[in-house]
Structures are given as structure tokens and as C-alpha cells.
Amino acid sequence: MKTYLVGGAVRDRLLGLAPGDRDHVVVGTTPEAMEAAGFRPVGRDFPVFLHPETQEEHALARTERKSGRGYRGFVVHADPSVTLEQDLERRDFTINAIAEDADGRLVDPFGGARDLDARVLRHVGPAFVEDPLRVLRAARFMARLAPLGFRVADETRALMRTMAAGGELADLVPERVWQELSRALGAKQPSAFLRTLHNAGALGTVLPEVEALYGVPQRPEYHPEVDTGVHTEMVCDMAATLAPGDTVIGFAALTHDLGKARTPEAEWPRHIAHEQRGLKPLAALCDRLRVPTAHRELAVLACREHLNVHRLDELRDSTVHDLLARCDGFRKPERIARLVTVCEADKRGRLGATDADYPQGARLLRMLDAARGVQARDVLRDGLTGPAVGDALRSARIDAIAQVRTDEDACPPPTRASGTRT
């Protein structure tokens, strides 16, 4: 029985990254022997065990044989005769097919260390095409590794295009698609996920609402990048910069402009009412992928309200109040903070605007704080009951919002003004 450290732990150490989970492969033993040694079985589809002390995963070396469509269509074979090389051969990418023994020596039969040095994401072998989930995994890895200079190998990209054209990505269950998407949105460069799938012809299968944005023009005076798909990539990357790891903000950034794909071509490059037009495709995407409630709710707010936040200085005080109330900001102020971050990402996710000021965001938060400082008890008067209390509270909160404007006019904050349109 021999145990090897495998996968991401080896890969990340060689890249100089902070280590994540430590997974091991065990060669030359049986499930019965593992349990006798104190390991606890946890694998459902193949033999995986938790170490009795470290709780790290230990999987028996195994091989896989394709038996049907989709990523679940495999027969797994695990017994003491399976070698380490056979186990590594079934893995997706060469950089994930490196093992390390107890003495720190690498076992690297497919050149993974070489590809790490060359910054290339390359599939291990022809069996790559048997698992459609690997197309999404390639894109998700690029979201993490593109900032380090990685690219997808030409032959791997060709295989991904073949897999996308073959239709098997349609067999992926929503939970797995969402898992890969959310992990990509939490990475440093989510645009690499979108771009990798788009170039492989796969984005239209897993995220057709986003694929539809590519090639849709915007007004160049506001969007020098012009292409709405490119803008979406830039907004996602800016969101990852402003709120690292926050997939709720990342998902709202991804979907804020879905309505621009619904603009009639005769209206291009203008996109009047794209906020309202985006709500239906957003709902379809969320329903299909079973998007978590928190992600969905912020995405709806960002889709519907981002132009209102951009043009905050043009809104009446009462309109600002109603925007905050519509977003349930008085009870859930963190929603407004996240909405502001998405809107700032939208403003700065444009060519030449990376360092642009976004004073609307800070101003809206100050208005929210001022309005939340007014409570029902502050407006109660003799004889004031029922709806009249709510009316008085609304009026007092509007006055508080107006006072923020007055104070800022008297003493402007130290940032240059910036306006944003569509």
C-alpha cells in the first residue's frame, strides 16, 4: 500500500499558491483494508475515505470506462491492481495529473510540471472528450489561472469545440453548471471563464442569455469597448476586483445587462428600457440553474436599478427614497451596499474607465444612512395612526435624503464628478 498526494495540492505548491484541500490516492489496497486501518468511507460513486486523524480524503486508485452520455455515464474500477499511472491517466488536465510521494518526489507521467512552467492548460489524453463537465472545468480553471499567464492548449481548445458541437453539454445537470459558474465568479478573472466557453462554442449551451450579448453594439461614447459581451466580461472582472470572492456580487455583475440582447436591432446601439427587458431572461437563467435566492435577488435589483443609481443626481429626493424602499434597503442595508458595488463595477468595467470615480455610490449610501436614521417613533404625534404614520415616516426620510444633498452642496466631497448613461 502506497499513498501519494495528488491534484490541486501538488499543482498549487508548484505554482507557489496557497494550498487548498489535500487529496491523496492510495495504490495497492482494498476498501476492507482501509476501514481496518481506521479510515472512514465517504465515497458514494467510488471508494473514498477520510483519514482517521487529518480527515483528508484518500481515494483508491481507479480507472473509468465510458458507459453512457453525460458526466455520470462511467463505470469505475478500483482494486489493488490499478497503478498510479493508470489513475493519473483518467484525470482531466496534465497540471492535475501530478503525484507526490511521501519523500516529496514527483510522479509526472504526462508532463504536468512542464505545462505549469509553460503556463498551458492541456488535457491528459483522448478520454477527455468522454466527460462534458471538463469543458466547464477548463473554463473555470482559466478564471483562476489566466492572471498567472495561462492559456488553453490549441489541441485542448479543439477538443472542447468538438464536445460542444456534439451536444453532450446539454446533459449537464443545473447544479453542476452552477457550481462551476459560481466558482469562476469567485475567482480573480471571471472573464476568462466566459471567453473560454465563448471561443469553444459552449457558452450558448450553458449560458445562452450571456452568449446572446456578444456582437450586440453599444454607444461608443459611453462604451468604447462597444461589444456588450466584452463589456460584461470587463464588469465581471471589475466586480472580482472590488469584491474578491463575493459570488453574489459577481452574479449580479454577470447578468445586469441581459436586456441588451433583447433590444431590436433597429434601435442599436441605443438600449432603451434594457433594464426591464433583462428581467425575463434573468428569471429564465435563474430558474434553469436553480440559482440561490441571495444571488437571484441582488441580480434582479442590479438589472432593474443600475441606471437609476448611475443617474442618482438627476433623481428627485422622493424617487431616491422609493428606490431604497423598493430594494428593501431600510431593512436590509447590505443590499444597497452590494448594489452600489455592482453599479461601480458597471461604470468602471469599460475601456479607459478602470480608475474612474463613482461618487454616486458613496452618495447613495450616505442617503440610505440618513434615511434609516429616521424611525417611526420620530414622527409619531397625537392622533397620528394607521397609514398616516407611514406617510409621515416617508416624508421625514425624504427630508433626510434632501439634507444630504444640501450638506454636500455646501461642502462637496473630495472626488471629481462623473456621470454615466446606458
DSSP labels, 67-116: -SSSTT-EEEE-STT--HHHHHHTSSBGGG--EE-TTS-EE-TT-HHHHH
pLDDT band for position 419 (cuts 50, 70, 90)? very low
In b/e form, how buried is each residue of 114-153, taking b as 16+ CB within 10 angstroms? Answer: ebbeeebbbbbeebbbbbbbbbbbbbbbbbbbbeeebbbb
Each residue's pLDDT tens digit, 199-223:
999 999 999 999 999 999 999 999 9
- In tens, the pLDDT along 383-403 reads 677 888 889 999 999 999 999
73, 14 Cβ separation under 8 angstroms: no
Summarize the confidence of residues 339-357 as an average pLDDT.
97
Residues 144 and 244 sit within 8 Å (Cβ to Cβ): no
Average pLDDT value for residue range 96-104: 95
pLDDT, residue 18, reads 85
**Residue 414: pLDDT band with limits 50, 70, 90:** low
The predicted structure's pLDDT at residue 260: 98
User: What is the tens place of the pLDDT at every residue in 323-344?
Assistant: 999 999 999 999 999 999 999 9
CA dihedral 50, 58, 35, 72 (to 10 degrees): 100
Q: What is the C-alpha to C-alpha distance for residues 352 and 354, in angstroms, rounded to an integer?
A: 6
Phi, psi torsion values for 108, nearest 5 degrees:
-140, 70
69 confidence band (pLDDT: 50, 70, 90): low
Instruction: Collapse the DSSP code of 383 into the 3-class scheme (helix H, G, I; strand E, B; otherwise coil) and give the result.
Output: coil
**Strand partners of residue 77:** 63
Share of the chain above pLDDT 70, in %: 95
Instruction: Dump the DSSP string for 257-284.
Output: TGGGGGS-GGGTT--TTHHHHTHHHHHH
Mean pLDDT of the chain: 93
Give residue-wise pLDDT tens across range 286-318: 999 999 999 999 999 999 999 999 999 999 999
Confidence at 72, pLDDT banded by 50, 70, 90: low
Task: Check residue 323 and give its pLDDT.
Answer: 98
CB distance 354 to 238 below 8 Å: yes
Query: What residue ranges define each of the domains in the chain, with the CATH number in brackets?
Result: 1-124 (3.30.460.10), 132-201 (1.10.110.30), 207-422 (no CATH)
